[in-house]
Structures are given as structure tokens and as C-alpha cells.
Amino acid sequence: MSACDNTLKEPLHPAFPVGQVKDESKKTQETIELLKFQSHVEGGYFVETDRDSLRVPNPFEAKRKEEGQDSTRNASTTIHYLITPKRYVACSL
């Protein structure tokens, strides 16, 4: 996915629905929809704008093998977050 690729129709993961913008201002909703932000389970919104095609060894390889996943991962990704007053979740320990 490149920074100019706004074709995301499906979420990257079921926990992150695309375009759920409940109770946000109209301008915020427009921004979220325009930039294809996805709702984040911990609050706010995010969008992945770049994924490096270079694969590197996954430091969590043992766990991935248990789950039947690849032993490598992308070297880097670029993710933008948008925190709004309506979707801010304060974390407490």
C-alpha cells in the first residue's frame, strides 16, 4: 500500500472496522472518510500509509510458528493516528 493508495475497502483486521465515525463532528467525519482511517480498539483512528516490501526475521518467530504464521515480517510500516475527543481512551494501570 502506498501513501496515495486510498482503495482500502476492507479492514486490515476485524477488530479495526473501516469508517466507523460515530458521534464525530462533520469535519472530523469527512477527514476520517477521506483518509480512510480505521477505528482503533484502544481509541482514536489509524491508517497504514506504507509497508516496506523488505522482509526481515520476526523476533517473535516461536509464537508465530505456533499460530502457523510467517517467520518474517515487513521491515517497516508507516501508520498515522488520529485521536479525537470523542474517541480518546485514557489508559490506567
* CA atoms of 37 and 34, how far apart (whole Å): 8
pLDDT digits (tens, 9 = 90+) for 13-30: 555 555 555 678 899 989
Domain hosting 75: range is 1-93
User: What integer pLDDT is reported at residue 41 of this predicted model?
Assistant: 81
Asked if the model's pLDDT at residue 93 lies above 60, the reply is no
What mean pLDDT is predicted for residues 33-49? Answer: 89
CA distance 20 to 11: 11
Beta bridge partners of 80: 47
pTM of the model: 0.57
Taking alpha carbons only, the member of 34, 42, 45 closest to residue 8 is 34
Is the predicted pLDDT of residue 89 greater than 50, yes or no? yes
> What local confidence, expressed as pLDDT, does residue 78 receive?
95
Number of domains in the chain: 1
